[in-house]
Amino acid sequence: MNWYLNFVRGYPFVSAMIQFAVLGTLGDLVSRRLSGSKESASVSLILTKMLVWAVLSIFIKVAFIGFEGFVNTLVLYRVLPVVFFENGFLNALARSLAMNLQFGVFLVLLHRLLDNVVERKRNWKKLDSAFLSLLWFWIPAHTVTFMLPKDYQIGLAALWSFMLGLLLSTFTRSNREVK
> pTM for the whole thing?
0.92
Give the per-residue pLDDT at 89: 98
Banded pLDDT at 1 (limits 50, 70, 90): confident
**Of 32-36, 51-55, 110-114, 174-178, minimum mean pLDDT range:** 174-178
170 pLDDT band, cuts 50/70/90, is confident
- Burial annotation 6-39 (CB, 10 A radius, 16+ → b, else e): eebeeebeebbbbbbbebbbbbbbebbeebeeee
Q: Using CA atoms, how far apart are residues 87 and 173, in angstroms rounded to an integer?
A: 40
Residue type, 162: F
- pLDDT, residue 88, reads 97
pLDDT of residue 66: 98
Geometric angle at alpha carbon 115, from 112 and 121, rounded to 5°: 100
- pLDDT score at 178: 58
- pLDDT band of 176, cuts 50, 70, 90: low
Is the pLDDT assigned to residue 172 strictly greater than 70?
A: no
User: pLDDT exceeding 70 applies to what percent of the chain?
Assistant: 95
Q: Are 62 and 13 in contact (CB under 8 A)?
A: no
Return the domain boundaries, the chain: 13-178
Residue 165 CB partners (closer than 8 Å, separation 6+): 24, 26, 27, 28, 30, 31
Angle at the Cα of 109 (from 137 to 47), degrees rounded to 5?
90
Rounded CA separation 50/27 (Å):
11
Q: By percentage, how much of the chain surpasses pLDDT 90?
A: 81
Mean of pLDDT over the chain: 93
Q: What does the alpha-carbon distance between residue 112 and residue 41 come to, in Å, rounded to a whole number?
A: 18
Q: What is the mean pLDDT of residues 104-110?
A: 97
